[in-house]
Amino acid sequence: MSTRKVYYFDNNATTRVAPEVVETMVPFLTEFWGNPSSAYRFGAEVHKHVDAARARVAALVNADPREIVFTSCGTESNNSAIHSALAVNPSKRHVITTAVEHSANINFCEYLQKRGFEITFLPVEPDGSIDIHLVESSIRPDTAIVSAMWANNETGVLFPIEEIAAICRSKGVLFHTDAVQTPGKLKIDVKAMGADFLSLSAHKLHAPKGIGMLYVKRRTKYQPYVIGGHQENGRRGGTENVANIVGFGRAAELAMASLAEENTRVRGLRDRLEGTILSTIPNTLRNGSRDHRLPNTTNICFEFVEAEAILLKLDLLGICASSGSACTTGSLDPSHVLSAMGLTPMRARGSVRFSLGMYNTDEDVDFLLKHLPGIIADLRAMSPLNPEHPDNDKYDVEAARAKHEQDMAQSLGDRP
């Protein structure tokens, strides 16, 4: 693999493992490789470190350590929550989720649909927000669980999950939130939020891939998804991924410590990047609410250009960004998130997500801003979608932009 400099603007896809995390993990890959479930001291010692990591991850979300179940990833956590809700309530066969969830939810729910369960995929407003009255009116006597993400991985838009949790509680329905994008960016307090289940994935917070967790509120009936040994207090079979668990614990501490920086310095970098693009590159639009979103994410539509072409040109310079979700790269379908927000397929296909993190610097943003306008101009010069291109029908750019801004402003104003 090449080792030249990478300008990394894809922190919502995965993050660099923090050196502090690696350092914490190494002893568990070298010296302390015992099985934490073994009775002898060589195993029991390791068990203590798993417990300590569990306490650290619990502290990140203000839970009790006994409420934390380590899993293999965010996908498994999401699947497990919905699976358990259906398994412990066999008479309830209806699940409510949203049209903009990560594929970890969308595809699992589509699978359930094929198996005879009923799924409601709630629509979103043009700014990516959700109408909570619709959540309430969609709940039925046979609804087992509502699963709604906290922060969208493509746009950064936040759902009002405390309000959704309150609705679910009042109706006696379980509530799960995919909070994978939030550590280090938002303060997480499961007690204040009142969710029954909450998912995290360590590789989104500077720990390795292949480790996640599911918060399961105390006294919630639980049916394991991975069935095997008695690990995780009987809630998830499989020998503990000790090194990754210990790394996750350290990363949880770092995430808590980086909250302020993410909300000041990283937010400042994001705002400068977004503001400069919108004000200096013509025919660009921000996708999603400006105010109700993560501090690190911006999703921008470059009209009359294919995002895939932009990304290829950026890649040649060592700049990493993405069009929608990493999981859909390679397919030409527009992002399901942007489509659900009502973007035309053309605009959705012209949209790029830049997601920043604590390792980004002003120089990274300068480098991107130096090259991006030229890339867009070059691609537009070749693009038959360009309104100035001789083959194109007349297209009123200003009117289109005004309409887009108006749609988003209106859906914000409509919020209760």
Ligand X SMILES: *Cc1c(COP(=O)(O)O)cnc(C)c1O
Q: Which amino acids are annotated catalytic?
A: 327
- Is there binding between residue 73 and ligand X (CB under 6 A)? yes
- Is there binding between residue 322 and ligand X (CB under 6 A)? no
CA dist 372 and 355 (Å) reads 16
User: In the stretch 206-225, what mask flags binding to ligand X with x, by CB under 6 A?
Assistant: ------x-------------
What is the closest distance, in whole angstroms, from the C-beta atom of residue 177 to ligand X in the complex?
10
Smallest Cα–Cα separation from 380: which of 309, 274, 292, 276?
309
Read off the tokens for 105: 């939810």
Q: Select 126 or 183, whichever has its Cβ closest to ligand X.
A: 183
Rounded to 5 degrees, what angle do the CA atoms 325, 149, 358 make?
Answer: 65
Residues 219-278 that bind ligand X (CB under 6 A): none
What is the closest distance, in whole angstroms, from the C-beta atom of residue 342 to ligand X in the complex?
21
Read off the tokens for 2: 């090449």
Which of the ranges 72-80, 239-247, 290-298, 355-363 carries the binding residues for ligand X, by CB under 6 A? 72-80
Cβ atoms of 177 and 167 within 8 Å: the answer is no
- Is there binding between residue 74 and ligand X (CB under 6 A)? yes
CA dist 163 and 165 (Å) reads 5
- Is there binding between residue 153 and ligand X (CB under 6 A)? yes
* Count of beta carbons in the 10 Å neighbourhood of residue 103: 16
Q: Please identify which residue in 49, 54, 92, 102 interacts with ligand X, judged by CB under 6 A.
A: 102
Q: Select 176 or 404, whichever has its Cβ closest to ligand X.
A: 176
Which of the ranges 111-119, 197-205, 342-350, 374-382 carries the binding residues for ligand X, by CB under 6 A? 197-205
What is the closest distance, in whole angstroms, from the C-beta atom of residue 256 to ligand X in the complex?
19
Q: Dihedral sign, CA of 44, 48, 53, 58?
A: positive
| 3-class state of residue 160 by DSSP | coil
What is the closest distance, in whole angstroms, from the C-beta atom of residue 296 to ligand X in the complex?
12
Q: Select 14 or 344, whichever has its Cβ closest to ligand X.
A: 14
Cβ atoms of 130 and 122 within 8 Å: the answer is yes
What one-character DSSP code corresponds to residue 14?
-
Q: Please identify which residue in 15, 181, 244, 360 interacts with ligand X, judged by CB under 6 A.
A: 181
- How many residues of this chain bind ligand X (CB under 6 A)? 15
Which of the ranges 198-206, 260-268, 308-316, 395-403 carries the binding residues for ligand X, by CB under 6 A? 198-206
CA dist 174 and 114 (Å) reads 22
What is the closest distance, in whole angstroms, from the C-beta atom of residue 12 to ligand X in the complex?
6
- Is there binding between residue 204 and ligand X (CB under 6 A)? yes
Q: Select 73 or 95, whichever has its Cβ closest to ligand X.
A: 73
Stated as kind and residue range, the H or E segment containing 254 is helix 242-261
Alpha helices in 8-117 (DSSP H): 19-25, 41-61, 74-88, 103-114
Distances (CA, A) of 179 to 18, 193, 281, 353: 20, 12, 33, 19
Which of the ranges 24-32, 71-79, 276-284, 395-403 carries the binding residues for ligand X, by CB under 6 A? 71-79
What is the closest distance, in whole angstroms, from the C-beta atom of residue 265 to ligand X in the complex?
22
Q: Classify strands 284-286 and 212-216 as parallel, antiparallel or unpaired.
A: unpaired
Nearest residue to ligand X by CB is 74
Phi-psi region of 43 (alpha: psi -120 to 50; beta: other; left: phi over 0): alpha
What's the N-to-C CA distance of the chain in angstroms?
51
Q: Please identify which residue in 178, 196, 303, 364 interacts with ligand X, judged by CB under 6 A.
A: 178
What is the closest distance, in whole angstroms, from the C-beta atom of residue 305 to ligand X in the complex?
25
Rounded to the nearest 10°, the torsion over CA 359, 312, 287, 160 is -50
- Is there binding between residue 129 and ligand X (CB under 6 A)? no
Q: Select 126 or 324, whichever has its Cβ closest to ligand X.
A: 324
Contact footprint for ligand X (CB under 6 A)? 12, 73-75, 102, 104, 149, 153, 178, 180-181, 201, 203-204, 212
